[in-house]
Amino acid sequence: MLMVRTELRASDIHGIGVFLVEPVRAGQLIWRFDSRIDRVFSDDELEDMPELLQSFLRTYSTLHADLRLWVLCGDNGRHFNHSDEPNTRSLGIAFGDDVAAYDLPAGTELTSDYRTICDAMRLEGMDFIQPQSVNA
Tens of pLDDT, residue by residue over 52-107, are 999 999 888 888 888 889 999 999 999 999 899 999 998 887 788 999 999 999 99
DSSP letters spanning 75-130: SGGGGPEE-SS-SEEESSSSSS-EEESS-B-TTPBPEE-HHHH-HHHHHH-GGGGG
Q: Quick check: pTM over 0.75?
A: yes
- The answer to whether residue 1 sits within a structural domain is no
- The answer to whether residue 116 sits within a structural domain is yes
User: How far is it, in rounded angstroms, from Cα 73 to Cα 31?
Assistant: 9
- The answer to whether residue 102 sits within a structural domain is yes
Look at strands 111-112 and 39-42 and give their pairing.
unpaired
Q: Are 67 and 40 in contact (CB under 8 A)?
A: no
Compute the C-alpha angle 53/131/54, nearest 5°: 15
User: How far is it, in rounded angstroms, from Cα 62 to Cα 40?
Assistant: 10
Per-residue model confidence (pLDDT) at position 135: 35
- The answer to whether residue 136 sits within a structural domain is no
- The answer to whether residue 93 sits within a structural domain is yes
Confidence of residue 111 (pLDDT cuts 50, 70, 90): very high
What's the number of domains the chain is made of? 1
- The answer to whether residue 57 sits within a structural domain is yes
Q: Which residue has the higher pLDDT, 122 or 42?
A: 42
In order of 11, 55, 83, the CA distances from 52 in angstroms are 24, 5, 26
User: How far is it, in rounded angstroms, from Cα 106 to Cα 25?
Assistant: 11
CATH of the domain at 41: 2.170.270.10
Mean per-residue pLDDT, 3-12: 97
In order of 33, 34, 61, 117, the CA distances from 95 in angstroms are 6, 9, 11, 8
The whole domain housing 83 covers 6-130
- The answer to whether residue 118 sits within a structural domain is yes
